[in-house]
Amino acid sequence: MHILSVFRTDHPLVRALAEAGHEIVVVGELDLPSGEQLSNASFYLGDIFPQIKAPFILARLKGLLSAHGIPYIVWNRDSPWNCAIKPWRKLMIRPLRAIDIYLAHSLQDQKCFARDAEYFPNAADTHLYHLGSRSLISLRDRQSYKTDVTFVGTLSPGFRRVRKRVEFLVALAGRFKALGISWQFLDTSVGTAARTTAENIEFVQQSRINLSVGAVCDYPEKSWGLPERCFGIAAAGGFLACDDRKHAAQTLPANSWAGFASIDECVEKIRFHLAQFDLSRDMAESLHSHVIQNHTYVARATQLVEIVQSWKLRAVS
């Protein structure tokens, strides 16, 4: 396929499409593709967040794409908060009818964007997260673990979109201290020391339980979608404990991770899995296999091509 994309080739989905043999032509967010670019393009991968701020250009772009039978595709990884769109701008999106294929990691606000939507969850970027020098067998060595429970993410108390996460983890640390459970919560907020991918993988692999708590897109309403960290933890072979999310049931096997809806349930699940090492590793290995087979950006690229082909068939019929 010949693909027009506003995202550069280092974007994980675009990179996966290129590695699959598709030709990628990067265009500016507010640039109109040339006639030559449009003549053989299969689809246009846009970014509705900045483009909706220039509705007249977006309308012209949509007209050009429609004239050539090229679908305008959006992947919303920020639902339902949609950080770059003011609420009043969202009222402009559906009347413009710019989006032909709306992909989203959470479908809870799909009516704001398009009539039809495809659930398109986040994925593991295996260029960054993988087993590295370890193997699943080596991760069964009990002596290789340094910490019981860990978390990596934004933990700035002044950032209101993660305030609930910070409050949860502070309370959780208090519970751990009383129970003799070791923990380490690493802050990756702007201004903190940068970490290498190798350091992050090592951190996951030396942690008995890797937490996923909250997401920036949870404010003001909790997102149904799974954060990308869930897939990265699994790709590195870690055991995942994640706050409950509506889309989890249709994404991950129920017996391969630990879900919790409250701090009490979180503590209960952690105590159980710390006491059940072999069972926890069975689950982690199951999740790793499932994610590597179904939830990498290579898998998303294949899924996207199939969605486009189906759209074209419907358009012809």
What is the predicted pLDDT for the residue at 220?
A: 78
What is the predicted pLDDT for the residue at 45?
A: 98
Residue ranges per structural domain of the chain: 2-122+297-312, 138-294
pLDDT tens series, the chain, 317 aa? 999 999 999 999 999 999 999 999 999 999 999 999 999 999 999 999 999 999 999 999 999 999 999 999 999 999 988 877 888 888 888 888 899 999 999 999 888 888 789 999 999 999 999 999 999 999 999 999 999 999 999 999 888 889 999 999 999 999 999 999 999 999 998 778 888 889 999 999 999 999 999 998 997 789 999 999 999 999 999 999 999 999 999 999 999 999 999 999 999 999 999 999 999 999 999 999 999 999 999 999 999 999 999 999 998 87
Domain 138-294 has CATH 3.30.70.960: no
CA distance 244 to 274: 20
> Which residues are within 8 A (CB) of 304 and not within 5 positions of it... i.e. 6 or more apart?
13, 17, 73, 103, 120
Q: Which CATH architecture has domain 2-122+297-312?
A: 3-Layer(aba) Sandwich (3.40)
Residue with token string 């072999």: 278
Domains 2-122+297-312 and 138-294 share a fold: yes
CA distance 112 to 87: 10
* Reduced 3-state DSSP string for the chain: CEEEECCCCCCHHHHHHHHCCCEEEECCCCCCCCHHHHHCCCEEEECHHHHCCCHHHHHHHHHHHHHCCCCEEEEECCCCCCCCCCHHHHHHHHHHCCCCEEEECCCCCHHHCCCCEEECCCCECCCCCCCCCCCCCHHHCHHHCCEEEEEEECCCCCCHHHHHHHHHHHHHHHHHHHHCCCEEEEECCCCCCCCCHHHHHHHHHCEEEEEECCCHHHCCCCCCCCCHHHHHHHHCCCCEEEECCHHHHHCCCHHHCEEECCHHHHHHHHHHHHHCHHHHHHHHHHHHHHHHHHCEHHHHHHHHHHHHHHHHHHHHC
First CA to last CA distance, the chain: 21
